[in-house]
Amino acid sequence: MDGQMMDGQMGAFGRLLGFEIIEWRNDLAILDLRIRPEMLNRSGILHGGVLTTLIDTAGGYAGTFCAVEGHVRKALTLSLTTQFTGQTRDGVIRATARRRGGGRNTFFVDVSVTSEAGNEIAYGSGVWRYRRGHGDPNGVPAGD
């Protein structure tokens, strides 16, 4: 999927934070985020809420790819767990989300977040529900 189309798929909150879709295809989403000073907690490390938001966003994308031009798929998060396994304070972090299964109405995703040095700093898993009518792999027209 080309960069312009991917940029058009990012919601307002993701754009505010600066998420960038690096790769998006069936059952996989890779998102990057450049850390900014306002994303650090009072200890000077990346805030866990930023990591959790990135995991949530990447997970949703991993289950909603649609190859039909002009169509979209959307989902809502039902459950999300996050484990923090490292720290970082600068650079670009990367979330790699893989859809692990699901059905007509829900899907399951595992997400790993790594620092610019390649160290895992968080991971999570979740369950998402397709929005009404959006479970079809062909999606729905973008305006719906």
**Tell me, what CATH number does 65's domain have?**
3.10.129.10
Please, are residues 84 and 49 in contact by the beta-carbon 8 Å criterion?
Answer: no
Q: Residue 75: which domain range? A: 3-141
Question: Does residue 80 carry a pLDDT above 50?
Answer: yes
> pTM of the full predicted structure?
0.92
Q: What is the pLDDT of residue 117?
A: 96
Question: Does residue 2 carry a pLDDT above 70?
Answer: no
What mean pLDDT is predicted for residues 58-76? Answer: 95
Question: Does residue 101 carry a pLDDT above 70?
Answer: yes
Question: Does residue 104 carry a pLDDT above 80?
Answer: yes
Tokens read off for 81: 């767990």
Number of domains in the chain: 1
